[in-house]
């Protein structure tokens, strides 16, 4: 959602994987109190609605623990929101779907005001290598915005991008930089 055109919407509790309480009747089943800590809500008072139990209970899913865990769902959402704000071309740019050479992979390119981001998503449960043709970008660098690393766009042929199961890569396109020794001019 964060890489597609428009404004992404996060439903209440989605950022921590908040569960629903299907023991409660009707629409109140999805109106679970926010689980701020292992104890539940903001205070030791009894919540207005019951908390879910089991693996979605507050002892397993809560904001306090996820804020401390660098690999948590909350931290992943925070990273996506930060990168989304740094990439206005994702929301407002020209959207172009790309062939990734694999049926489980959705790839697209977003261009705006001379800036380009390429997003590649593996929607499958097996690791794959996407092969994406990036017309007009040969020799450019792709800087991964979600993890450290860069990939060079080859002069001919597709860019090969390994993706974990359900993995994603957002890549900022930039001109290839000259090595430091070529970029500096010594005046004597």
Q: What is the pLDDT of residues 104-152, one digit of tens each?
A: 999 999 999 999 999 999 999 999 999 999 999 999 999 999 998 899 9
What percent of the chain clears pLDDT 70, i.e. is strictly above it?
92
User: CB count, 10 Å around CB of 112?
Assistant: 16
Whether 117 and 128 have beta carbons less than 8 Å apart is answered as no
Tokens encoding 64: 């306090």
Give Cβ neighbours of residue 4 (< 8 Å, ≥ 6 apart). Answer: 90, 95, 108
The model's pTM: 0.81
Phi–psi pair at 120, nearest 5 degrees: -130, 125
Residue 73's SS3 state is helix
d(CA 167, CA 150): 16
Q: Are 151 and 171 in contact (CB under 8 A)?
A: yes
* Residue 188 pLDDT exceeds 90: no
Residue 182: pLDDT band with limits 50, 70, 90: very low
């Amino acid at each position: 959602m964060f890489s597609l055109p428009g404004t992404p919407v996060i439903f209440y509790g989605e950022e921590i994987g908040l569960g629903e309480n299907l023991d409660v009747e009707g629409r109140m089943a999805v109106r679970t109190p926010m689980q701020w800590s292992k104890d539940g809500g903001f205070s030791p008072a009894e919540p207005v609605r019951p908390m879910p139990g089991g693996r979605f209970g507050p002892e397993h899913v809560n904001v306090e623990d996820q804020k401390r865990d660098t690999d948590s769902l909350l931290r992943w959402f925070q990273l996506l929101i930060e990168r989304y704000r740094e990439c206005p071309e994702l929301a407002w740019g020209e959207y172009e779907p790309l062939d990734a050479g694999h049926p489980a992979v959705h790839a697209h390119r977003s261009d705006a005001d001379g800036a380009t981001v390429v997003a590649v998503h593996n929607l499958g449960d097996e690791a794959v290598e996407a092969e994406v043709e990036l017309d007009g970008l040969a020799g450019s660098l792709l800087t991964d915005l979600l993890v450290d690393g860069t990939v060079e766009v080859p002069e001919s042929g597709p860019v090969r991008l390994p993706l974990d199961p359900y993995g994603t890569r957002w890549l900022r396109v930039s001109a290839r930089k000259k090595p430091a020794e070529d970029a500096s001019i010594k005046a004597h």
